[in-house]
Structure 1
Amino acid sequence: MSTKKEASVWQGFRAFLMRGNVVDLAVAVVIGAAFTNIVNSVVKGIINPLVGAIGTQNLDSYSSCLKGRCTNGRDGTPTSGVRILWGSVLGATLTFLITAAVVYFLMVLPMSKYLARQAARKAAREGTKEIIEVSELEVLKEIRDALVAQRGSGHDER
């Protein structure tokens, strides 16, 4: 009896893994992890040097002192004051925006255009069938109207 239960558990687990959603999610995680390296390279190699033309290439060094005088120890760690690290927030925001833009323009937009084309093709195929059905319906209505007109004219003559 336990062999049958184990078999059904393994079959259920296999069915779970083979579902489209799980496989799609696994692919998305792997691609996302690989894509993170590309985005980080773009930020380090392009964005940071562009920002570095104005100031420093390390966005993490941009900060403001909110309370008191901010001082750093010999090793660079803050020793006094309340420091707002807005440069690291800016860097993370730029990384997010670049990632979102690349995902949208290279993945989402082409896929939505492809799906729209597929839907248009399907609608065109179904539209042709509807035109044929509509024209047949129109012909039948005309025949009906002609028969009604003949009957009506026949009754008026008597």
Structure 2
Amino acid sequence: MKIEYQHIFGLPRKIVWKYIKDEKVLRNTIPNCKSLVQVANGFYQAQVDIQLGPLKDVFELEVKVEKEKSPAFCHVFLKGKGNLGEFTGKADVILNDHQGGTKVNIHSDVEITGALAGAAQRVLNGGANKGVEKFLYSLEKEIKKNLYLIRKGRNR
């Protein structure tokens, strides 16, 4: 399954780059994230509730940043396992300056096994795209909240 998504942040690229890899910010913005821990530089483990139509499960995730070029690009490897199946995937996250903000493009390819693979492709694609969309909107909101708190002297 291929997922392609684009979002334009009203924030400078260096700011988006900084926060897109921040453990606390990610934990607060990944949809249905129960836990997220950075166990090593560029390596995260998480638990995420997944619901696609009638299918519901908790997935154990591993996310590894395999390549990166600050502040423009990272290649990420993803692996997840739940009772309904497993998935592996890779994603390229590309950040470009765009009219005073940042255009983020995500290109990913995911292989799914188990009961999830048997679900209708359209449901999976729609659910995955909606999850990416929700994540990016939440990420922008969380970054802006952090920047506001920093200006007020209440964070980091």
TM value normalised by structure 1: 0.23
| Greater percentage in strand | 2
| TM value normalised by structure 2 | 0.23
Higher relative contact order (CA 8 A, sep 6+): 2
Larger helix percent: 1
Higher-Rg member (1/2) = 1
